[in-house]
Amino acid sequence: MAESNSLTDAEIMLKIAGYDSKALEQLYDRYAPFLYTLIKKIVTDKETAEEILSDVFVIIWRQIDQFDFKTNNIYTWLVTLARNKAIDVLNRRGGKMLPDYSDEYEKEQIIPKLSADVAALELEEVLNGKGKMEKALGSLTDAQRYVLELSYYGGLDQEEIANKLKIPTVTVKSKMQVAIGNLMQKLSEAK
Amino acid sequence: MDKKKSLELIKLEVLGCLNEKDLESLKMMKEGNEDFPWKELADYQNLVALIPSSLEMKYPASELKDKTAMKLYNIRDEIKAKIDAKKALEAPSQTVEEHLELEEKFVIEEKIEVEEKVFAAAEEGFHINVDEPLTTGQDESFRIVSNFKEKEESKNLINETHDKIETAVSKTAPEKDVIEKIARDFIKAHIEGDIDLLNQSVKKNKILSFIFFFITLILIGALYFIKQ
């Protein structure tokens, strides 16, 4: 088994960029449970979640040149990538009309495009802050939390949420903006 | 005003729920606005990535690692092409002659290395089983791919990975010759002496048997004359 704590995420990603499979194994050991938890929350069934997780690591291996080593925001990149992939599968399974899945589509829609002006997150730091996030989410109203979940885990856009909740799209927009704004504020206060 | 509008759209974009029209507006803001709030975009991207940290951790099946390794192995050709392209970009000034020279040198070094390994194995009495099947245990999951990567760096060894997974024959043929040669040399050096000793011992035994047989005959003759 690869040593899972010897290298930083950034060092691992650099090695993966040189197609070092042991580094990819280290990344898998480190991130697979976290990404799997997120994916399973989105698609709910175990087999599909595992298939997606496996595909995510194939994407990392194939598209490592798409990762921005200047930003080095590995945690956010991986989580966003896993979420995008899971939502894509969910939408296709739900019969949503989407372009054919191609290399180009993957680069455009699945690979995250993160802002370069960033303070990179570390997985360990995130896991240690679990309580703070729970508290921040708990401080939102039920409605705010619900629209946030429908969007983040359900992959619904504003119109779909509006249809589902039978409320105007502008209301959905405003609720989501307030929800995410509050979440940011509560989390900043908890730091 | 622009910044406020940008921030409103950013909050929706990071959740992935912008409609086509808003997505286009945001894209234009990013491209055309020097004061676009990139820092805020990064902060919100980080924020939504933190949301799953509140979930209770679940674990995928342990066999998934093997399956992933096999998927990665299946795209080896694509990755090899990428590595080749990368290498070509890194060393564009190398002439064809230099490249061939290096390649030749590499093959010779590799051959010597393989022969040394086989010699060492023969000395230790190690049995090299060319039909040995590939085992993909949990701890070896990514080794298939790992082997593949190492082979990228040494072209002769590419065949070894193929040998393990797909075609045992193609890669093992040259090694088999070497092994047979080593085995012959090994027998010559270590067993031939034993065979000589054995032959001498057989010869001695034959002479002794003949002497005992002759003595027995004399004794039988003597007994016959004594009885008469």
The reply to whether B26 falls in a domain is yes
* Residues B174, B75 share a domain: yes
The reply to whether B147 falls in a domain is yes
* Residues B138, B45 share a domain: no
A34 touches chain B (CB under 8 A): yes
Last residue of a domain, one of B54, B79, B96: B54
The reply to whether B228 falls in a domain is no
Cα A185–chain centre separation: 21
| Stretch among A132-141, B25-34, B160-169 having the lowest mean pLDDT | B160-169
The residue of chain A with its CA nearest to that of B15 is A152
Which residues 147-176 on chain B approach chain A with CB closer than 8 angstroms?
148-149, 152
Comparing CA positions, the residue from A26, A50, A41 lying closest to residue B64 is A50
What pLDDT is attached to residue B82?
78
In contact, B151 and B158? CB cutoff 8 Å: yes
Comparing CA positions, the residue from B175, B149, B152, B154 lying closest to residue B163 is B175
Q: What is the pTM of this model?
A: 0.68
> How confident is the model over B93-145, as pLDDT tens digits?
555 556 566 556 655 555 555 555 544 544 443 333 333 343 444 445 565 55
How large is the average pLDDT for residues A181-188?
A: 91
Q: Tokens standing for A52?
A: 């997606």
- The residue type at A16: I
Block residue for tokens 């180009």: A104
Question: In the predicted model, what is the mean pLDDT of chain B?
Answer: 71
The reply to whether B79 falls in a domain is yes
* Residues B84, B120 share a domain: yes
Which residues 51-110 on chain B approach chain A with CB closer than 8 angstroms?
51-61, 64-65, 67-68, 71-72, 75, 78-79, 82-83
Which residues 88-127 on chain A approach chain B with CB closer than 8 angstroms?
112, 114-119, 121, 126-127
Q: CA B23 → CA A76, B14, B17, B19, B37, distances in Å? A: 21, 11, 9, 6, 16
Do the Cβ atoms of B17 and A176 come within 8 Å?
yes
Q: Tokens standing for A9?
A: 């995420």
Is pLDDT of A111 > 70? yes
* Residues B120, B16 share a domain: no
B168 pLDDT tier (thresholds 50, 70, 90): very low
In contact, A82 and B60? CB cutoff 8 Å: no
* Residues B155, B86 share a domain: yes
DSSP code at position A129: T
* Residues B161, B74 share a domain: yes
The reply to whether B112 falls in a domain is yes
Q: Tokens standing for A58?
A: 């194939």
* Residues B85, B42 share a domain: no
- The residue type at A189: E
Which residues 3-32 on chain A approach chain B with CB closer than 8 angstroms?
19-22, 24-25, 28, 32
A116 pLDDT tier (thresholds 50, 70, 90): confident
Cα A97–chain centre separation: 22
* Residues B134, B162 share a domain: yes
Buried b (16+ CB within 10 A) or exposed e, B69-80: bebbbeebeebb
Interhelix angle B143-153/B64-74, rounded to 10 degrees, is 30
Is pLDDT of B147 > 80? no
> How confident is the model over B1-24, as pLDDT tens digits?
578 888 999 999 999 888 888 889
Block residue for tokens 């054919």: A100
- Can you tell me the ipTM of this complex? 0.93
Q: Print the domain residue range for B156.
A: 64-183
The reply to whether B145 falls in a domain is yes
DSSP code at position B57: P
Interhelix angle B143-153/B155-165, rounded to 10 degrees, is 150
Q: Per the structure, how many domains does chain B have?
A: 2
> How confident is the model over A1-29, as pLDDT tens digits?
445 467 899 999 999 999 999 999 999 99
* Residues B68, B174 share a domain: yes
How large is the average pLDDT for residues B42-50?
A: 95
The residue of chain B with its CA nearest to that of A42 is B52
The rounded distance, in Å, linking the Cα atoms of B177 and B133 is: 20
Q: Where are the alpha helices (DSSP H) in A5-129?
A: 9-17, 21-43, 46-62, 74-93, 103-105, 123-128
In contact, B152 and A19? CB cutoff 8 Å: yes
Least Cα separation, residue B140 to chain A (angstroms): 7
B183 pLDDT tier (thresholds 50, 70, 90): low
In contact, A27 and A82? CB cutoff 8 Å: no
**Domains, in order of start, for chain A:** 1-128 (1.10.1740.10), 130-191 (1.10.10.10)
Do the Cβ atoms of B51 and A155 come within 8 Å?
no
The rounded distance, in Å, linking the Cα atoms of A108 and A40 is: 23
Quick check: helix, strand or coil at residue A20? coil
Do the Cβ atoms of A33 and B78 come within 8 Å?
no
The rounded distance, in Å, linking the Cα atoms of B3 and A176 is: 18
In contact, B108 and B156? CB cutoff 8 Å: no
* Residues B101, B127 share a domain: yes
Q: Tokens standing for B30?
A: 């990013």
What pLDDT is attached to residue A31?
96
The reply to whether B221 falls in a domain is no
* Residues B177, B76 share a domain: yes
Do the Cβ atoms of A119 and B83 come within 8 Å?
no
Is pLDDT of B190 > 70? no
Do the Cβ atoms of B72 and A58 come within 8 Å?
yes
The reply to whether B126 falls in a domain is yes
Cβ-Cβ pairs closer than 8 A, A with B, add up to: 177
* Residues B47, B68 share a domain: no
Q: Smallest Cβ distance to B142: which of A22, A34, A159?
A: A22
Report chain A residues whose CB lies below 8 A from the CB of B78.
62
